[in-house]
Structures are given as structure tokens and as C-alpha cells.
Amino acid sequence: MSQPLENIALIGAGTIGLSFAALHLRSSSTCKVVLYDPRPDLDSHVLSLLPNYLPPTHESVTSLLASERLLFAPSLEEACTPSTHLVQEQGPESAEFKTDLWPKIEALVSPTCQLWTSTSGIPASVQSVGMSSPGRLLVVHPFNPPHIMPLIEVVPSPATPEALVESACEYFSRIGHRPVVIRKETTGFVANRLAFVLFREACSLVQQGVVRVEDVDKIVEASIGLRWGIKGPFASYHYGGGEGGLAGFLQNVGKTVKDVWSEGEGPIEGAWVEKVVGQTEEAYGAVTPQNYVERDIITRRVLEVIREEREAIAREETET
């Protein structure tokens, strides 16, 4: 069991920083969060925005400040100290900024302090080039907003010890998030790569006049967005293949898949079918009727909640 992460320093108080502050504070009644950001209006900025990230029944920001569970640090040196258990950075998405920052932080904290960066795409191996122990730095990339969205992509560099990866995964699992270890550093990690490929195709279809922007959003919201929020693409297509699973799905619609791919990035090289089918069958097993029952129960409930919330919002707007 790794040491508790009770003394947390957050570098950067933008939307991601405040979202993580809310996540850490709500997940432990004893942890202390120190916020450092050079902006001159840090106090008023946090007081006006952080309440929007905390649950309605949570202790108020004023109370958190009074009890010193939430603190504002006027300098990096006062934010990062030998007693800090975790430093998490959400600063500008600039390799120059981050490579300059981490050696300074490393010199201020203890050797056991964990060092996380919430970068959207700059690998730990790039950010840590000036550090004495570059393997200490670990990417923990959230999907915005992290106080709500459960995904955390944990992306080690080749120098990162497995114990640090396990510690981060243990922490986020304990507070109800879903950490996923990305096994190789790659531009944009995984969630953004998937999202940006879809976004590029959406932009291309709009540019070609195939569909309008608002209709793309309707299509995604009413189909793959909903479906993949319940089961990811491999599980979804595995179930879509019936008794034949993913292999059956690819056999049934494989030509359409290849035709679409040929208009875009082109075919995947290598024996990819065998690899993805093998891993899918290993992960999910044979398709059974119960898979469809569970999928449909969750899907119907999600649709009900979406409808109920939209109707409630519409009523509030009408009343005001």
C-alpha cells in the first residue's frame, strides 16, 4: 500500500486545476489542497468558480479556507515543500514551460513525493529531460471535467517504475475513477486520438456538404456517443456480431469498413484482425443473450435520465 496522498499541491488553477481540486477535496475529508497559480486574482477566481465544481452538499469554499484544507500559495516554494505528498501540474500546454518547471519542483519536495502532470499530449519523457530522476514524473491525463468524467489515462515514460504507476491507479480507483494504463507514449495518448479522428471525419463531412454541424451532433448523441458510453467500440461490435462475435461482425460488414477506411487513412497494416478479435474474445468471452439484456437495461435507463433532465431544464427556462 502506497502512502496516503493527503498533502496535495496543485499547480495551475484553470478549469482542469479547479476540477481536480474539487475531486481531491470531495474524495477525502482530511486531505489538504494547496493551490498555486501566478494569476493576481487567484483568491477571487477560486472563490467564484470552485463552488461550481463541488457537490451542493459539500463543505463551502469559505469553510475549506477557514479550516486550511484549502490554501493559496503565493509562490512555488510555498506550494511544494518536503511535507507534500503529491504535486499535480495543470499549467500551460507548453513543453518549454513544463521542462523548466519540473526540475524546480523536484528540488523542493521529498524523494517520495509523487509528481503528476495532467498534460493533454506532452509525454513525461519530454517534460522530465531536466530532472535528476526523470522516472518520477507520470502523466495522469483526464477527460474534461475530471471531477465528473471518470477516465484517467495513466501514461508512464520508459523510465517510470511500475510502483508509481500502480500507486496512481490505486488512488484513482479508490476515489471512483477509471484509470487506464497506456502502455506506450504516443501523441495525444488514446482518448484524444480517438476523439480527434472522429472530429476530423465530422469536419470533412461538413466540408463536403454531406451533413450540417448540428446534425452531426444529433447523430453522435443518438448513436455512438450513447452506445460507446455503455460499451466501448470493441465490446459493442462484438455484441453486434451475434453468436459470431467481433469476427462475425467483421465478416458481415467488413467490406463497408474497408471501403470507408480506403477513403480516409487507408487499411491497417499487419494481422490486425487476428489481434483485435483475439483480445476481444479474451476480454469478453462468447456473446450470450444476457449481454444484450444488460446492455438494453442500461441504455434505456440512460435515455430516460437524459430525457428527464432535458425536460427539467426546459421547465426551469420557461419559468424564468
Q: Which carries the bigger pLDDT value, residue 2 or residue 163?
A: 163
Residue limits of CATH 3.40.50.720 in the chain = 7-181
Q: Which three cell numbers stand for residue 140?
A: 495522469
96-to-39, 151, 240 alpha-carbon distances in Å: 19, 27, 46
DSSP lists the bridge partners of residue 180 as: 153
Average pLDDT, the chain: 95
Q: Convert the pLDDT of each residue in 108-155 to its tens digit.
A: 999 999 999 999 999 999 999 999 999 999 999 999 999 999 999 999
212-to-203, 217, 261 alpha-carbon distances in Å: 9, 9, 22
Q: Which carries the bigger pLDDT value, residue 1 or residue 265?
A: 265
Neighbours of 80 (CB within 10 A): 23
Q: Convert the pLDDT of each residue in 74-100 to its tens digit.
A: 999 999 999 999 999 999 999 999 999
Q: Is the pLDDT of residue 277 over 90?
A: yes
Does the structural domain 7-181 have CATH classification 3.40.50.720?
yes
pLDDT band, residue 1 (cuts 50/70/90): very low
pTM: 0.91
pLDDT band, residue 258 (cuts 50/70/90): confident
Taking residues 274-290, what's their average pLDDT?
96
